[in-house]
Amino acid sequence: MKHWLRITLIALALLIVVGGGLLYWASRPDIAQVSELDGTGRAPKFTQTRTQNFPTIAVAKAVGWAGGAKPVAAAGLQVTAFADRLDHPRSLYRLPNGDVLVAEANSPPREGGGITGWVMGMMMKKAGAGVPSANRITLLRDTNGDGVADLRSVLLANLNSPTGMALVGDWLYVANTDAVVRYPFKPGETQITAKPEKIFALAGGGNHWARNLVAAADGKSLYVAVGSASNIAENGIEAEGEALYATRGRPSEMASLGGGTKGARAAILQIYPDTKSGRVFAWGLRNPNAMAFEPSSGALWTVVNERDMLGSDMPPDYLTQVDLGAFYGWPWNYWGGHVDKRVTPERPDLRQYTKRPDFGLGAHTAPLGLTFASEAKLGANYARGAFISLHGSWNREPPSGYKIVFVPFGDNGFPAANARPVDLLTGFLGKDGKTAQGRPVGVITDATGALLVADDVGNTIWRVSAATK
């Protein structure tokens, strides 16, 4: 009996050692084999994917700005604080009178627990995103033109993780995580006391909770970006609701949505406030964020966060023009037809419809903000193109993003040939790559042509302007 007990204990010990070794090996971070810049441009470099069972977790620890530190502007530019002591500022919107609205928001309470929920909670806390959502929109006004907001007022409170904002006529539209609502409002007012009018229901929460919004030029419709609930529909296609409505047919068979829906994820919706109806404008976009209209063509553009756990080098996040009825591949394909073999059931019939994005922004850089340079006054080097905020990676080694970049455009309304992102505002990531003093999110121009950047870790809005002589 003692002999068999000894053998059993030895076998058990061997299993523990081998199992522990396998777990240690499987959980090691995937190290990037190419530079962040290789994943950028109109034709980014594609390498072999490295599928992970455990994600690389390499998020920089949020530490904030200490001792008067601030980001570093490119040559010929300077940076100052437009407003500080905010509570997780995310998106920005400028009113016609020059007032600036900032949505102070964070993720709503997340469903699900277990090991996955615990890991996500720890990661968000480390990244500075573990704080409760302030759920408000604050109005900032620079009354004396010195580049610093000296009037601050809570315009709206008790919202639900708001992101998108747009003024159309006498209505201020707000995209909460679960609905687009509107309030009567005129520029100059500093507080809204009216109750919201619900315009359109949205799929709320999920892995991607932010709902950006932009108004069409004619003011008759709104575009709303709704991210997926998961990485690659690992909880089943059905869990993504009507985002994947076209799995019943072809991408050209776009769905009309009456009165809103709890589905329609991984898509950009076009909604009509007058009838409170809408349609899916484009789909297969894993996590579209900020949107803007390119000034020369009037076309809609967006930035998109691509999928995870294919290694530190793949695939690139991107900037792209958004066409009506276009399918961008998620979850089955990415970047014009690269097949993600992890997704089941497969849909090879959709591969031929997968649209190729227009510009790579690097793997896992997490682009969240976008504005075009038509109203910027930062010098000739930044006269035509797009300013993009790269919030920064949580799952790449070494980290990527954590900066504002400029993408030069040509006369044809697309990124210039051979263009690469140009660093405009850096210093958010510590020199060791392990800490983050800030993380950029929303980006707009102010009434003077300076660039405003929301920093949700530094709780500051930075103002980038041409350096004074």
pLDDT of residue 243: 45
Bridge-partner residues for 316, per DSSP? 363
Q: Torsion-angle region of residue 135: left (phi > 0), alpha (psi -120 to 50) or beta?
A: left
Q: Which residue has the tokens 């790559």?
A: 433
If one compares 15 and 379, the residue with the highest pLDDT of the two is 379
Bridge-partner residues for 433, per DSSP? none
If one compares 160 and 11, the residue with the highest pLDDT of the two is 160
- Is 96 a residue whose pLDDT tops 80? yes
- Is 225 a residue whose pLDDT tops 60? yes
- pLDDT confidence bin for 238, thresholds 50/70/90: confident
pLDDT of residue 468: 85
Helix, strand or coil, per DSSP, at residue 144:
coil
pLDDT of residue 255: 54
If one compares 41 and 131, the residue with the highest pLDDT of the two is 41
Average pLDDT over residues 268-290: 96
Average pLDDT over residues 142-157: 98
- pLDDT confidence bin for 239, thresholds 50/70/90: confident
- Rounded percentage of the chain residues whose pLDDT exceeds 70: 86
Average pLDDT over residues 27-31: 80
Beta strand 316-321 with 89-94: parallel, antiparallel or unpaired?
A: unpaired
Lowest mean pLDDT across 27-31, 186-190, 387-391: 27-31
- pLDDT confidence bin for 141, thresholds 50/70/90: very high
Interatomic CA distance for residues 404 and 390, integer angstroms: 6
Helix, strand or coil, per DSSP, at residue 265:
coil
User: Over the stretch 297-328, which tens digit does the pLDDT of each residue have?
Assistant: 999 999 999 999 999 999 999 999 999 999 99
Handedness of CA 125, 404, 305, 280 (dihedral sign): positive
Average pLDDT over residues 371-385: 98
Where does residue 207 rank: exposed (0-12), middle (13-18), buried (19+ CB within 10 A)?
middle
DSSP secondary structure, 53-94, as one string: SS----PPEE----TT---EEPTTEEEEEEE-S-SSEEEEEE
- Is 60 a residue whose pLDDT tops 80? yes
Average pLDDT over residues 231-254: 65
Q: C-alpha dihedral over 253, 258, 263, 264, to 10 degrees?
A: 40
- Is 7 a residue whose pLDDT tops 70? no
- Is 17 a residue whose pLDDT tops 70? no
Interatomic CA distance for residues 445 and 371, integer angstroms: 8
Average pLDDT over residues 375-394: 98
Q: Give rounded-to-5 percent helix, strand, coil for the chain.
A: 15, 35, 50
- Is 227 a residue whose pLDDT tops 90? yes
Token readout for 115 is 């090991």
C-alpha triplet 282, 403, 303: angle, nearest 5°: 5
Helix, strand or coil, per DSSP, at residue 385:
strand
